[in-house]
Amino acid sequence: MDPLFSWVESSAFSVWARESTSIFAFPTFLAGHALGMACVVGINVAVSLRLLGVTPGFPGTELKKVFPLFWVGVWLAVISGTILLIAYPTKALTNPFFYAKLVFVGLGVFQIRMIENRVLGNPDLDIPPNPKWVRLLAVSSLVCWFGVIATGRFLAYTYGRLLVSW
């Protein structure tokens, strides 16, 4: 894999994203990733807490209105995360926490799609208390997004190799 990592790391875009002193390089991509994750996780927490009965007077069907912002956050996190990966492919792709993060992201997106389509799209499930499977889905979704945040933060401190050349 080292030749592939070396090729990506030596590309003009990777060098610029990683080494430029411009505010529009690495700091902007990192801030964009944090903003995207804040939208994703914040909306997920609000929806999950509603499904757990924290705000029983608030209609769950109203939460469907925030899902466009959720999906904007997902795409912002995916695009900025891909750029961060291009900047440091060896650092990420040789770290098991990166793969754990991807698993948590996949599970989290799958669960929030279930919540969006099967739970919030069904007015019969909007009467507290929600069925046990809905509450379990809300808890597992919270666990997944916490896992995304935790494994993402671990990436900064647990890598064995920063670049191929180091």
Confidence (pLDDT) at 23: 96
Helix (H, G, I), strand (E, B) or coil at 6: helix
Over residues 43-70, the pLDDT tens digits come to 999 999 988 988 877 777 788 899 999 9
Mean pLDDT of 137-161: 96
Tell me: pLDDT of 125 over 80. no
In this predicted structure, what is the pLDDT of residue 24? 95
What is the pLDDT, as a whole number, of residue 64? 85
Between 28 and 61, name the one with better pLDDT.
Answer: 28
pLDDT exceeds cutoff 80 at 130: no
Q: What's the pLDDT at 141?
A: 97
The label of the residue with tokens 């900064």 reads: 156
Q: CB count, 10 Å around CB of 21?
A: 7
pLDDT of residue 17: 97
Residue 158: pLDDT above 80? yes
Residue 151 has pLDDT above 90, yes or no: yes
**Whose CA is closest to 93, among 162, 146, 149?**
162
Whether the CB-CB separation of 50 and 67 falls below 8 Å is answered with no
Q: For position 126, what pLDDT does the model report?
A: 62
Q: What is the pLDDT of residues 60-118, one digit of tens each?
A: 778 889 999 999 999 999 999 999 999 999 999 999 999 999 999 999 999 999 999 88
Whole-angstrom Cα distance, residue 66 to residue 70?
Answer: 6
Q: How far apart are CA 79 and CA 107, in angstroms?
A: 19
How far is the C-alpha of 135 from the C-alpha of 119, rounded, in Å?
A: 10
What percentage of residues in the chain have a pLDDT greater than 70? 97
d(CA 143, CA 126): 22
**Confidence band of 127 (pLDDT split at 50, 70, 90):** low
- Give the tokens for residue 25: 């390089």
Look up residue 120 and give its two tokens.
């919030």
